[in-house]
Structure 1
Amino acid sequence: MVHLCTAPAPEPRWATGGRRRQARFGRLVGAPCRWASFRGRARSPAGTNRSRVALRRLGLSPHFARGRCLWIRRPVCRRARSPARQRALPAHAPFAESPMTHSLFARRSLVGMVHVGALPGTPRGCEDLDSITTRACDEARLLEDAGFDAVIIENMHDRPYLHGDKMGPEVVAGMTLISAKVAEAIDIPFGVQILSGGNRHALAVAHAAGGRFIRCENFVFSHVADEGLLPEAEAGALLRYRRHIGAEHVAICCDVKKKHASHAITADLSLADCIEAAEFFGADAVIITGTATGKPTSVDDVATARRSTRLPVMVGSGVTPETVAPLFEHADALVVGSYLKRDGLWSNALDPHRCEAIVNAAAAAR
């Protein structure tokens, strides 16, 4: 049975407390109102569904209380505004310019690695932060003077690494201080990488210190690395975090089938498939590497990357003066680290003669 009425609304049969409940009901939905109540509890009698359809056509909506259904429609008041009082809506802001349109990849670029010393709190940390910062600034200036186009600041000596959110705040604090000091010491762009998988941390550091890009691990697809299982792709959370902190000007350069990792999980996906996924998910550049630090990168892999994407293609390991020319046929930038150190060992100090050799080879290949 359906009962319809108009305001003032009579008190429902199931209500207790009389005027007190009616007053509360009036404050909830406003008055005047139009309502209907169904008698019955868990199951409505036959014909109720047809009545409900009719009530919905009247613009009523159901509200349930104590096993009964109350159909309510609030009055809709529309008052036309005069043209003088109408507020103009702001025009939709255009999409931000891609951060990779800056001059870093305008030509074949050389990117040198600044391997920060072991930070305090890590297993090999035995220096104070001032000494680590001074050496990082000296290496960055040496690379700039040699002719490099950019540098990447990386906590390579913090091994063995903690992954992602497991790393402590002291790593982020130390990298922020070092990056800010390096920014004051050089005029070329710099990027940040925090191992392992500290992609949001690196993005925050770069944003705070003036960095232009970060190097990101596991941007797309899961894999097993030497620091453990990397089960989640970072793209979705990382791009949302970049928007959240207002760091759209910081580019995300992502490794594809990264070094120091097994990719058996994605063995049925080709390199081109992974590169296309990275572009689809919003990467700003892709990085192709060998199997480990200092191991050569296949020229065929770089050529495949060049054919598979419109994004800038970077080479992330194993660059030597002999491989600069063939790699530059397909790559937009070469990241050089191990070769620049004494005896070609990444943990040694920079060798100015090796830096000069790489720069001369790049100049000849451009």
Structure 2
Amino acid sequence: MKSINDVIKVRGGFIIGMVHCLPLPGSPSYQGDINKVMEQAVEDAKTLERGGVDAVMVENTNDSPFTELISKTQVAALSAATALVKKEVNIPVGVDASFNDCEASLGIAVANGCDFIRVPAFVDTVVNWCGIVTPCAYKVIDLRKRLNAENVMLLCDIQVKHSNMLLSQVPIEESAKNAVAAGADAIVVTGTTTGEETPIDMIQRVKNVVNIPVMAGSGINPNDIAEQFKIADGAIVGSTFKKGGLTTNPVDYELVRKLLAPLGR
């Protein structure tokens, strides 16, 4: 199996496909059928792998309303889903405990032998429906060291979607340089919301000031992927693989193939 380090060297750009878990136990939106949650997570991961993505990331996307940190029950359920996905696919697997529970993400990753986590608020203080969310760079870097888990890569958002910067005057270049200094392994740049195209000029501005991989984190579609990958090193893709762009829908194999076709895969 390829490592995540192999994945980020994929010529022409690497793609991480999202496994959007149905609402988990512990979330007010949980529907009461844990078997359905687990089965869809596994099937989505297998469909993404069959479609040709380079890695998958398991996330509690549909837990609503989001909180900055997730409950113990949600951690247990997300870890269980991740374990099943990890068992069923032969590509790298990552975790994101949204909105910004970096310690839960890392703990789940270490417990299940995963390759990477996503960290939405790594060096930025942002404001969203969770309230004021502060950076977790120190917590996650310190925990990673204490767990002897430096092999788990940190894919770190800067000026993340669904949020506003508390200090709006901070340029994205400053956030990017802060992320590198704090220990990010890759940087994720997004549009303002899920499904919105990541501005190419923003990706370029970040690429100009860092020497680590820079990823497009939202809005990648068959019409823009070739252009995005002229600059971005990779992309995280979720709603594009779902009919109607609905995160609760299963991954659609034909939509996965439609996205990868312009790359000649």
Residue 307 (structure 1) aligned with residue 212 (structure 2): no
Q: Which one of 133, 136, 144 corresponds to residue 234 of structure 1?
A: 136
Shift of 1:236: 1.0
Q: Which residue does 2:38 correspond to in 1?
A: 133
Question: How many angstroms apart in 2 are the aligned matches of 1:335 and 1:217?
Answer: 13
Report what 1:5 is aligned to: none
Q: Does 1:184 align with 2:87?
A: yes
Q: 1:228 & 1:161 partners in 2: Cα distance?
A: 11
For residue 336 of structure 1, the aligned residue among 237, 242, 251 is 237
> Amino acid of the residue matched to residue 222 of structure 2?
P
CA contact 1:339–1:346 (8 Å) conserved in 2 = no
Q: Percent identity?
A: 31
Structure 1 residue 160 displacement after superposition: 0.4
SS across alignment from 1:295? coil
1:266 aligned residue (137, 153, 167): 167
Displacement of 1:352 = 1.8
Shift of 1:128: 2.9
Amino acid at match of 1:248: E
Residues 1-366 of structure 1: pairs in structure 2 closer than 5 A: 102-107=5-10, 108-164=13-69, 167-230=70-133, 232-263=134-165, 265-363=166-264
Shift of 1:321: 0.6
Asked if the contact 2:47–2:252 (Cα under 8 Å) also holds between the matched residues in 1, the reply is no
Q: Distance in 2 between matches of 1:257 and 1:149?
A: 25
Deviations 1:80-125 (A, max 9, x none): xxxxxxxxxxxxxxxxxxxx97102012111111100111121111
Rounded to whole Å, the distance in 1 between the matches of 2:26 and 2:188 is: 30
Q: Tell me the TM-score normalised to structure 1 length.
A: 0.69
Q: Which amino acid aligns with 1:359?
A: L
The runs of 5 or more residues in structure 2 that have no matched partner are none
Higher relative contact order (CA 8 A, sep 6+): 2
Deviations 1:282-318 (A, max 9, x none): 1111000000011111010111111110011111100
Q: Quick one: distance in 1 between partners of 2:247 and 2:76?
A: 24
* Number of residue equivalences: 261
Aligned to 1:88: none
1: CA distance, partners of 2:239 / 2:120: 19
Distance in 2 between residues matched to 1:356 and 1:252, nearest whole Å: 27
Aligned residue for 1:85?
A: none
Amino acid at match of 1:333: G
User: 1:320 deviation in Å?
Assistant: 0.4
Contact 1:211/1:250 (<8 A) preserved:
yes
Structure 1, unmatched stretches of 5+, are: 1-99
State the alpha-carbon separation in 1 of the partners of residues 193 and 201 from structure 2.
17
Letter in 1 for 2:83: A
Shift of 1:159: 1.2
**TM-score normalised according to structure 2 size:** 0.95
Spell out, residue by residue over 1:190-230, the C-alpha distance to the aligned partner (whole angstroms, 9 max, x if none). Answer: 11001121111000101111110000021002110222111
- Partner letter of residue 297 of structure 1? T
> For the Cα contact (< 8 Å) 1:189–1:211, is it kept in 2?
yes
CA RMSD of aligned residues (A): 1.4
SS of 1:321's partner is coil
Q: What's the CA shift for 1:237?
A: 1.5
Whole-Å Cα distance in 1 between the matches of residues 111 and 244 of structure 2? 35
Question: Is contact 1:285–1:311 with CA below 8 Å preserved after alignment?
Answer: yes
